[in-house]
Chains A and B, each alone.
Chain A
Amino acid sequence: MAVVSLRNVGKVYPPQAKDGASVTAIADVSLDVEAGDIYGIIGYSGAGKSTLVRLVNALERSTSGEIWVNGQNIAALRERDLRQVRLGIGMIFQQFNLLGSRTVARNVAYPLEVAGHPKEQRAARVAELLDFVGLSDKAGSFPDQLSGGQKQRVGIARALATQPSILLADEATSALDPETTHEVLALLKRVNAEFGVTIIVITHEMDVIQTIATKVAVMDQGRVIERGPVFDVFSNPQAAASARFVSTVVKGIPSPDELAVLRERHAGRIVTLAFRDSAVDQKAVFGEFSSAGVAFEVVYGGINEIQGRPFGHLTLALTGLDPLIDQVLAHIRTLTTVTEVR
């Protein structure tokens, strides 16, 4: 069942100046996030992904369409009624947004105060949450005494305080170094696995998607231009923007610039072979070259793994007689996709 369901959602900002143009941040987005998903939304700055996630807990209001959260169309609710809805949706932020005037423990307790939990219950819940994020010893510290990674772990503890079923992560790791990023992502994975919390992750880093997401939507200029299981989008991106994102973590077909560099160093014909899952048998492919007497050298690319499934592109420089190479490639085309790059 979809816990978050967007139907033709739009967000248009009115013109800033009198004769200025209105700005469309989100245009006609429909999206379904199923319970238990870790749904990644990726896009460049200004693609509208942060606005989109802020529509899900109505920090910003949509100007058209329906936003169903846990079976309620929140686009139709008034601000006062939204407060109840928000207790069921946790949110973490790029800049952590902890209250500097409160200790770690009192930051985590904040949503419980808002929800009206009695004091004794709050203390027990805060202790439990700090233990979960591994910061029990920092309960009395103030946010400015913590590292970035620790701050985000407090942010996660705070977001989970009222046991929400949905967690929104708005560029939650963009201000962190790579190692801390992976710690925080590992923690989010645990949140998903241990508490069954559905997570929507906004990011501009494909690496984040690769590490934790099960599904991904690619946004460009306020629209979702591609979506699907992460493996499918990574191994076979359809839109140009998606392919660019994939290429930031996975080398695909060499670009013209890269090809020029390869050409300088390698004689012969250059072909890119796609390997996807176990459907393509690498041994069989390379066996073809060997048995035909075509010499090959791997010059570009790599094999990656997403959720235990390997995929990737390998670019080879082939040396041998042209007809022979044509013959071999014809054979290999029956096994996998071959792109000859010139």
Chain B
Amino acid sequence: MDALIDLLPELWTATYETLYIVALTLFFGGLGGLLVGLGLYLTRAGSILENKPLFFVLNLLVNFIRPIPFIIFLAAAQPLARAVTGSGIGNNAIIFTIALAASFAMARIVEQNLLTVTPGVIDAARSVGAGPIRIIFTVLLPEALGPLILGYTFIFVALVDMSAVAGYVGGGGLGNFALLYGYRQFNPIVTWAAVLLIIVLVQFVQFFGNYLARKALRR
């Protein structure tokens, strides 16, 4: 317990780092997921921008990256992270890697949620002369907003998980804190303190996500 009290400043720094990593990866990964998900949805057979070759490539890419266990993906994507961020380790590198992995996971969630929009409302929008861009922003995204919010909440939890794993390759945050000060120094209370903070964080975000989704769905 004393050890934990001594480590409190490090714990707060680690919490802040986790929030920082998760916020940035949620932004970039979320945006990437939205784009790839929209791409999958729009180019599939019978959709408004049907494009068989593009769909095939996107679909293959998503299926290729998604099954790779994250800890292996971290190592495999390291050269790419180094090329993009200038370093293979540290927060910037792992933000890049997590955002990349999250994009492809999120892409499927976005695609699935967009598929719940009844094709009829898209027909209705087309019948009054709406073009593809307008349909995306005035029909697809608003109609799927409730499930999309839940999807992003789901991916948030996955991001917290991934950021903790990234502690292994020099990323900071609560995962790194738990490993460094708890696990390796045989101090389970320190480990559990980090775990508790992660649970509180996840609970809070899940409640908030549910609340927003309820508002979007009006129920």
Contacts and interface: CB of A to CB of B under 8 A. Distances in A.
Contacts of B139: 99
A173 B145 CA distance: 30
B128 A87 contact: yes
Interface string B131-143: 1001000110011
A23 to B, nearest CB: 14
Interface stretch (B59-67, B88-96, B119-127, B173-181): B119-127
Contact of A87 (B123, B124, B129, B131): B129
Interface string A85-125: 11101110101011111100000001101110000000000
Contact of A97 (B123, B129, B142, B218): B123
Interface in B94-131: 118, 120-121, 123-131
B142 A99 contact: yes
Given A102-B142, A110-B138, A114-B134, A97 B128 contact: no
A168 B126 CA distance: 14
Contacts of B121: 97-100
Contacts of A57: 127
A266 interface: no
Given A99-B142, A142-B218, A114 B130 contact: yes
A115 B134 CA distance: 12
Interface string A231-256: 00000000000000000000000000
26 contacts: A59-B123, A59-B126, A59-B127, A83-B131, A84-B129, A86-B126, A86-B128, A86-B129, A87-B129, A89-B127, A90-B128, A91-B124, A93-B120, A93-B124, A97-B120, A97-B124, A99-B124, A99-B125, A99-B142, A101-B143, A110-B125, A110-B138, A114-B129, A114-B134, A115-B128, A142-B218
Interface of A: 57, 59, 80, 82-87, 89-91, 93, 95, 97-102, 110-111, 113-115, 142, 144, 158, 161-162, 168
> Nearest 10 A-B pairs (CB), nearest first?
A111-B128, A83-B129, A97-B120, A97-B124, A101-B142, A91-B127, A86-B129, A87-B129, A114-B130, A97-B121
Interface of B: 118, 120-121, 123-131, 134, 138-139, 142-143, 145, 216, 218
